[in-house]
Amino acid sequence: MKLLRFKNRWLPLFLLLILILTPAASRAEEDYSFDAAEIEKKPYHLGGYVEARPVLFVPDKNSALYKLNYYNHPAGKTMEEYNFRLQLEGSYEKDIYRFYAKTNTDYKNAYSGESERSVFYEAYGSLKSSPSLKLEAGKKTLKWGKGYAWNPVAFMDRPKDPNDPELPLEGYIVASADYIRSFSGPLKTLSFTPVLLPVYDHINDSFGQNNDLNAAGKLYVLLYDTDIDFILLTGGSKTTRYGADFSRNITTNLEIHGEIAYIRDHQKTFIDSNGTAYLKEYDTTSYLLGLRYLTAIDTTYIFEYYHGGTGFTEDEMKNYYAFINKGYQSYESTGSDTLLQRAATLTENNYGRMNPMRNYLFLRISQKEPFDILYVTPTVTGIFNWDDGGLNLSPEVTYTRIKNLELRLKAIFLIAGRDSEFGEKPNAYRFELRAGYYF
Amino acid sequence: MLRMIITVLMTLVFALPAHAVDGTELLKEVDRNLSPESYQTYRKLINIEPDGRKKEYTLFSVKKGQDRVAALFLAPASDRGRSTLRLGENMWLYIPNVGKPIRITSLQSVVGGVFNNADILSLDYATEYNVVKTEIGGSLSLLHLKAKNRTVAYDRLKMWVDAEKKLPTKIECLTEAGMLIKTLYFKKQKDFGEGIVRPSVIETDSPLYKGYKSIMIFADIKKRTLRDEVFTLTYMPNLESLRR
């Protein structure tokens, strides 16, 4: 009876304890299964990305490009810019056919005004009769080359921004094929990618000279554990060019890569300080050498040296800046912006392109989750202009704790003197926040 | 007496290699019991932080033969469409936005957490390791494995094997100096059909990531015949088409 009383007294407590502990126990015992719907294959896919990116610029009012851009509407001590981006992507697949499209809408509200541009980045159809052969036609990006910041052999792509090399790019309308063969032995893979790229009115007209059909090809081999590509572009829109690249893992944490491009009959337009234009035609070579290295504490180093044979020399750039300054003086004394308008024309797709000079060093150091701060990755990137000694230094920190949301805070400091590429940019500093959400 | 000495010596001479051969055979059996030579699988990788917060990834993977593995990320949305490829010691990551495969190394991790690329794109153990010592005792056998070359992610492994089922229960991954990098625990045996009965969960923790845990859950493993061309850089953007 005594025992029974004891049991009766302790039983509710025991049951309560079980009740309290049961959820904890089930929490401790993880749910080791996942929903079949997660892995169900659907013929279609819809997704997208939305981004807000406010930017604060601190202008350098003595720089040549500030004078060129803002001579008739000077800015204050700072300039704000609000950027929004929406990307939608979808695909539909049936049997051996697949259609894929990706749109991009950019909206910008800046000191110089509002702008909006919507475009298909990619929209193409594929026919894959076997794993060895695929035919594609439509607008697509090819992204050839092994370099991280620059790709001298990416003959069929728009140039990427070394400050943000992983941003998606708009493609060109092409017809292409992929033929793949695998082997055993030192040569493990061989693939050939022929590409046709037409340039006519409203079709790829930004690629080069109009009314021409361009042909390109890439031969890829995986030989002795080294990726090697041989690339050719010919046709009338751009001069004929040949390229090759390689990439190889040296150890479990070190990769090396390189690219070389030989460009025939390159035409360079440049000016003297009075604005007199000259045209020089020459064969030239561009190349890149780089490495990626991962340390035991999860620090990643990416280092690249780039030589652009089509780039401007230091003197050619100095003449360009001198001409802008002359145009600005002329505007201030006479009110005429004729010279500045001419400088603006020369800037577009010429002096104003990404990294227009010849020799650059790139170093990106990225530390994953330092001091056990989870989902935080600080990175610092430096682009050093070897020719004029200028430095583009950009520290950034990304935070990815929330599922599908990426936050990035970034600053760009241009440490360079007058008459140098970075020293003559319109802004001395720039701070930006990027919030991007995938759905 | 001389005959006895010769007999003992002969027994020792033949017994030592026999142990080594047994270990190698056992390792090969473990490999085949873990997965067919060519197969497809769906996996979920979960990284669990010390405070219990989780980050999950869902992958579709295919493997062929000794040294070909490819994986496609299905979720989350921020990683969907990414794919990884391993051909022997060569590894690549394809990110749709970047648009081209880039080389990665075995010690990196495309998902963060305790699993690195070598764990996610693992090959047969017998492909990468030699058995240097076998300890047989009771229900568990202990295999001491040594990497065949310096490109393998872990120099040494200690693998505890269920002697009856010929499946691993625990693996310690060590450096050349014997420092523990991580421990893999094989749990929750499951019948996947087609004669594939194996642990459906692999947990890992590491003294280098105190309090963190990563889990790999297998939802489905099926034998599948695949062409070699599937395991090429050029094919990486098309892995989705292998799903049925």
In a domain, A360, yes or no: yes
In a domain, A33, yes or no: no
- When pLDDT is averaged across residues B179-202 and rounded to a whole number, the result is 93
How would residue A300 be classed by pLDDT, with cut points 50, 70 and 90?
very high
In a domain, A142, yes or no: yes
Q: How far is B182 from chain A (nearest CA, A)?
A: 14
Instruction: List the 396-425 stretch of A: residues with Cβ below 8 A of B.
Output: 400, 403-406
DSSP per residue, A220-233: EEEETTEEEEEEEE
Whether A32 sits inside 8 A of B188 (CB atoms) is yes
- When pLDDT is averaged across residues A287-298 and rounded to a whole number, the result is 91
In a domain, A6, yes or no: no
A367 touches chain B (CB under 8 A): no
Q: What is the pLDDT of residues B8-25, one digit of tens each?
A: 544 444 444 444 448 899
Q: What is the pLDDT of residues A234-284, one digit of tens each?
A: 998 999 999 999 999 988 789 999 999 999 999 999 999 988 999 999 999
Q: What percent of chain A has pLDDT over 70?
A: 92
Distance of CA A194 to the CA centre of its chain: 24
State the amino acid at position B121 in one-letter form.
L
Nearest C-alpha in A relative to B202: A32
Whether A93 sits inside 8 A of B241 (CB atoms) is yes
Nearest C-alpha in A relative to B88: A225
Q: What is the pLDDT of residues A42-66, one digit of tens each?
A: 899 999 999 999 999 999 999 999 9
Angle at B153 between CA B152 and CA B156, to 5 degrees: 80
Q: What is the pLDDT of residues A362-412, one digit of tens each?
A: 999 999 888 878 789 999 999 999 999 999 999 999 999 888 999 999 999
Whether B241 sits inside 8 A of A39 (CB atoms) is no
In a domain, A421, yes or no: yes
- When pLDDT is averaged across residues A307-323 and rounded to a whole number, the result is 96
Report the pLDDT value the prediction gives residue B4, as an integer from 0 to 100: 57
Nearest Cβ partner for A182 among B95, B100, B232: B232
In a domain, A12, yes or no: no
Whether B103 sits inside 8 A of A404 (CB atoms) is no
- When pLDDT is averaged across residues A22-26 and rounded to a whole number, the result is 41
Nearest C-alpha in A relative to B102: A146
**Domain containing residue A221: CATH number:** 2.40.160.100
Give every CB contact of residue B38 below 8 A, 6+ residues apart in sequence.
Answer: B62, B63, B64, B65, B223, B224, B225, B226
Chains A, B: CB contacts within 8 A come to 142
Q: Hunting for tokens 């010596």 — which residue is that?
A: B9
- B220: which chain A residues are within 8 Å (Cβ-Cβ)? 39
In a domain, A3, yes or no: no
Give per-residue burial for B176-191: e unless 16+ CB within 10 Å, then b. eeeeebbbbbbbeebe
Report the pLDDT value the prediction gives residue A374, as an integer from 0 to 100: 78
Burial of B175 (0-12, 13-18, 19+ CB in 10 A): exposed
A131 touches chain B (CB under 8 A): yes
The overall average pLDDT reported for chain B is 87
How far apart (Å, rounded) are the C-alpha atoms in residues A226 and A188?
Answer: 10
Q: Are strands B167-174 and B180-191 parallel, antiparallel or unpaired?
A: antiparallel
Q: How far is A405 from chain B (nearest CA, A)?
A: 8
- A292: which chain B residues are within 8 Å (Cβ-Cβ)? 103, 105
Interface probe for A, chosen from B48, B90, B209 (most Cβ of A below 10 Å), is B90
Q: How far is A308 from chain B (nearest CA, A)?
A: 22
Q: Where are the beta strands (DSSP E) in B49-124?
A: 54-64, 68-75, 83-87, 90-94, 101-104
Report the pLDDT value the prediction gives residue B13, as an integer from 0 to 100: 44
Q: Hunting for tokens 């896919």 — which residue is that?
A: A45
A129 touches chain B (CB under 8 A): no
Q: What are phi and psi of A304, to 5 degrees?
A: -140, 145
Q: Examine the pLDDT at B114 and tell me if it is beyond 90.
A: no
Report the pLDDT value the prediction gives residue A236, as an integer from 0 to 100: 87
Report the pLDDT value the prediction gives residue B242, as an integer from 0 to 100: 92
- When pLDDT is averaged across residues A20-30 and rounded to a whole number, the result is 44
Q: What is the pLDDT of residues B47-84, one digit of tens each?
A: 898 888 888 999 999 999 988 999 999 999 999 999 99
Q: Span B2-242: which CATH code?
A: 2.50.20.10
pTM (two decimals): 0.84
Burial of B18 (0-12, 13-18, 19+ CB in 10 A): exposed
Provide the domain limits for residue A381. 47-438
- A249: which chain B residues are within 8 Å (Cβ-Cβ)? 89-91, 103, 105, 151
Nearest C-alpha in B relative to A402: B55
- A93: which chain B residues are within 8 Å (Cβ-Cβ)? 240-241
With beta carbons less than 8 A apart as the criterion, state whether B45 and B113 touch: yes
Q: Examine the pLDDT at A198 and tell me if it is beyond 70.
A: yes
Per-residue tokens: A218: 């890439």
Higher pLDDT, B100 or B16: B100
In a domain, A254, yes or no: yes
- A134: which chain B residues are within 8 Å (Cβ-Cβ)? 238
Report the pLDDT value the prediction gives residue A418, as an integer from 0 to 100: 93
Report the pLDDT value the prediction gives residue B2, as an integer from 0 to 100: 52
> How many structural domains does chain A have?
1
